[in-house]
């Protein structure tokens, strides 16, 4: 198929690579230029999102935030200026569910289809083609794009109408952030009370408290490996989407709000670029106590 | 061996049953009388904790809260009045780590050993002999009691000195409560935004957000099955231990504190006896919105 890919950063580049490896033509655009490695795999670099939309039938976008999606779709030389009847836009960025519904309506008004399809799994999942993909849109469009999703991910779910994919991603990020915070509070309590946090983590893994976060991020907290991973500043963006959405919908999300504040405290201490497991640092700084000593290796905070 | 068991409620009765089934003599006392079923299994009913301590070499206690442990150990006709050199007290209740250190010191002063060995896994785990057991005390005493623990549980960990078992249990209850709250916020956000919470739960189970709580309690929230399970009023007790301990140690546990407040809101709405997954009701009441409709079956809230 003739595919387009806009946004070839640390996520987009390997994802486009999987589409190329799947035997598809890929017309590519990236604000900072199409990476040589992706061109070497066969991607054809375009001068603008509009050119991508002219040449491809299904156009993927993978850019940092809501304004970037607005810009590549509807800005100068954007997708909307090159697209024509029957084509499909698939936004795999993690952005506002509310804005997504507007974007989908505008694309639909051009007689084109739209899917929101944000992912989780990070750079590792993008490279391994093991991303979780959460999709919003019509079932017919989902079925059409599904074989392409399958080249990039493993756990692929149609959640509902446009916006539902982004909503699901926000829900995912709420759970991940709050589970990290929970493990931080628990290990801090245990360590300060004199228990070995590694043994506590091990004991908790056997029961109701077990989670992927306890396993992965709990270990990072104990071993002090706060190099990303997933950066706190990116998770802040996601919690902002949650809190903005909650305000718009009249919801109170108390622990999402307080966890966002803890992330701000991390940023105040230079931690915007820490892995999100470094959230525990905010709790530690408040308590003037560390779960475990900082090792003498340069990757630790 | 000659064992004692004090406290034969919904947890203690099946636990004592496993010790009897393991071929041990069990001398039993319960405030409300030793259940006939446990006597039928061979337990010998005693008139007081002191009598249990006279007749048994290893005395287990499984009672509701810190004051009850203080009473059965050191009150009138308590264990301390019947115990003698070389015997062992194993408190499997979930109580204060700080009080536990005092209790252990007082038992040690009688030339006896003490283990704190709280459990997780609830009534189901007690009946199935699959409890997680978190132990504080000396390695020698742990090794002596370990074969008896193995009759009652599966994931048995010596965490550290006396109090560490209780500390680990508190850490467990922090993670469980905060993970429930996280799932509640996420599913509420998703449902209010118009996404199907069951599909969101399914999608999240594939990735970093996955947890035992998402699996079990997420489903209870969606299906509105808030019959216990583990009652909110019991989880409140555990979070109180966390917050009292945090205050004593100079820790700030912001999400434990706010989650405790949400549990209080549940109690205000008649929910002291709801399963702890019913915590989501406090978020729903605040938002004037329910994740999913209440079904027409009587077990739902």
**Portion 279-298 of B in contact with A at CB < 8 A:** 283, 286-289
Cα distance between residue B37 and residue B22, in whole Å: 16
Whether B249 contacts chain A with CB within 8 A: yes
Flag if A203 and B170 touch (Cβ within 8 Å). no
What the block records as the tokens of B283 is 């978020």
Residues of A in contact with B210 (CB under 8 A): 211-212
Going by their DSSP bridges, the two strands A44-45 and A58-61 should be labelled as unpaired
pLDDT in the model for residue A296: 78
Cα distance between residue B63 and residue B16, in whole Å: 13
Q: Report the residue of B124, B208, B222 to disrupt the A interface, i.e. the one with the largest count of A CBs within 10 Å.
A: B208
Report phi then psi at A29, rounded to 5: -140, 135
Question: Tell me: the pLDDT tens digits for B80-135?
Answer: 999 999 999 999 999 999 999 999 999 999 999 999 999 999 889 999 999 999 99
Whether A100 contacts chain B with CB within 8 A: no
Flag if B167 and A195 touch (Cβ within 8 Å). yes
> With contact defined as beta carbons under 8 Å apart, do B9 and B124 qualify?
no
- pLDDT over 70 at B284, yes or no: yes
Residue of A nearest to B250 (CA): A287
Longest dimension (CA), chain B: 66
Q: Rounded to a whole number, what is the distance in angstroms from the first to the last CA of chain B?
A: 46
Distance between B272 CA and the closest CA of chain A, angstroms: 21
Q: What is the pTM of this model?
A: 0.94
- pLDDT over 50 at B269, yes or no: yes
Flag if B175 and A209 touch (Cβ within 8 Å). yes
pLDDT in the model for residue B299: 52
CA distances in angstroms from A220 to A188, B26, B35, B54, listed in the order given: 13, 45, 47, 49
Cα distance between residue A176 and residue A216, in whole Å: 11
What the block records as the tokens of B182 is 């996280």
pLDDT in the model for residue A297: 62
| CA torsion angle A82 A87 A92 A96 (round to 10) | 80
Cα distance between residue A69 and residue A75, in whole Å: 9
Distance between B165 CA and the closest CA of chain A, angstroms: 8
R_g (Cα) of chain B, nearest Å: 21
Residue of A nearest to B259 (CA): A255
Residues in CB range of A7: below 8 A, 6 or more apart? A30, A31, A61, A62, A63, A68, A72, A93
Considering chain B, what is the average pLDDT of its residues? 96
Flag if A212 and B211 touch (Cβ within 8 Å). yes
Whether A130 contacts chain B with CB within 8 A: no
Whether B183 contacts chain A with CB within 8 A: yes
3-state secondary structure of A156: strand
Tell me what percent of the residues of chain B surpass a pLDDT of 90.
Answer: 95
Q: Which residues pair with B272 in a beta bridge?
A: none
- pLDDT over 90 at B136, yes or no: yes
- pLDDT over 90 at B297, yes or no: no
pLDDT band at B228 (very low <50, low <70, confident <90, very high): confident
Cα distance between residue B177 and residue A178, in whole Å: 11
Q: Which ipTM was obtained for this model? A: 0.94
Q: What is the pLDDT along chain A (301 residues), one digit of tens a residue?
A: 999 999 999 999 999 999 999 999 999 999 999 999 999 999 999 999 999 999 999 999 999 999 999 999 999 999 999 999 999 999 999 999 999 999 999 999 999 999 999 999 988 999 999 999 999 999 999 999 999 999 999 999 999 999 999 999 999 999 999 999 999 999 999 999 999 999 999 999 988 999 999 999 999 999 999 998 899 999 999 999 999 999 999 999 999 999 999 999 999 999 999 999 999 999 999 999 999 999 876 554 4
pLDDT in the model for residue B300: 46
Flag if A186 and B163 touch (Cβ within 8 Å). no
Flag if A120 and B174 touch (Cβ within 8 Å). no
Please give the positions of A annotated as active site.
169
Closest CA to A117 of A132, A102, A101, A103: A132
**Portion 35-94 of A in contact with B at CB < 8 A:** none
* Helix axes of A232-249 and B164-192: crossing angle, nearest 10 degrees: 50
pLDDT in the model for residue A228: 85
**Where in B21-118 does DSSP place strands (E)?**
25-29, 44-45, 58-61, 88-91, 113-116
The secondary structure of residue A54, as a DSSP letter, is H
Question: Tell me: the pLDDT tens digits for B46-76?
Answer: 999 999 999 999 999 999 999 999 999 999 9
Helix or strand (DSSP H, E) at B195: none
pLDDT band at B9 (very low <50, low <70, confident <90, very high): very high
Flag if A134 and B203 touch (Cβ within 8 Å). yes
Question: Tell me: the pLDDT tens digits for A271-292?
Answer: 999 999 999 999 999 999 999 9
């Amino acid at each position: 198929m003739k595919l387009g890919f806009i946004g070839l950063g640390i996520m987009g580049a390997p994802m486009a690579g999987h589409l190329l490896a799947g035997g598809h033509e890929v017309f590519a655009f990236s604000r900072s230029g199409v990476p040589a490695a992706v061109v070497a795999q066969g991607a054809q670099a375009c001068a603008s999102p509009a050119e991508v939309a002219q040449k491809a039938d299904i156009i993927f976008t993978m850019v940092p935030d809501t304004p970037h999606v607005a810009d590549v779709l509807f800005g100068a030389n954007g997708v909307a200026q090159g697209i024509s009847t029957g084509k499909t836009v698939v936004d795999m960025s993690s952005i506002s569910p509310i804005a997504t519904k507007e974007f989908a309506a505008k694309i639909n008004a051009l007689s084109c289809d739209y899917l929101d399809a944000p992912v989780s799994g990070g750079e590792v999942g993008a490279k391994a083609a093991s991303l979780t993909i959460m999709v919003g849109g019509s079932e017919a469009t989902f079925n059409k794009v599904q074989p392409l999703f399958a080249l990039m991910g493993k756990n692929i779910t149609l959640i509902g109408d446009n916006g539902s994919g982004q909503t699901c991603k926000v829900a995912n990020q709420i759970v991940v952030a709050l589970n990290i915070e929970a493990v931080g509070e628990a290990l801090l309590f245990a360590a300060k009370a004199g228990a070995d946090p590694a043994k506590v983590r091990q004991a908790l893994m056997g029961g109701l408290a077990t989670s992927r976060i306890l396993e992965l991020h709990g270990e990072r907290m104990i071993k002090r490996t706060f190099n990303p991973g997933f950066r706190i500043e990116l998770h802040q963006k996601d919690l902002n989407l949650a809190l903005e959405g909650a305000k718009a919908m009249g919801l109170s999300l108390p622990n999402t709000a307080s966890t966002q504040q803890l992330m701000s405290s991390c940023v105040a201490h230079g931690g915007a670029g820490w892995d999100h497991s470094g959230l525990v640092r905010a709790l530690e700084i408040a308590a003037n106590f560390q779960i475990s000593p900082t090792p003498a290796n340069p990757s630790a905070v």
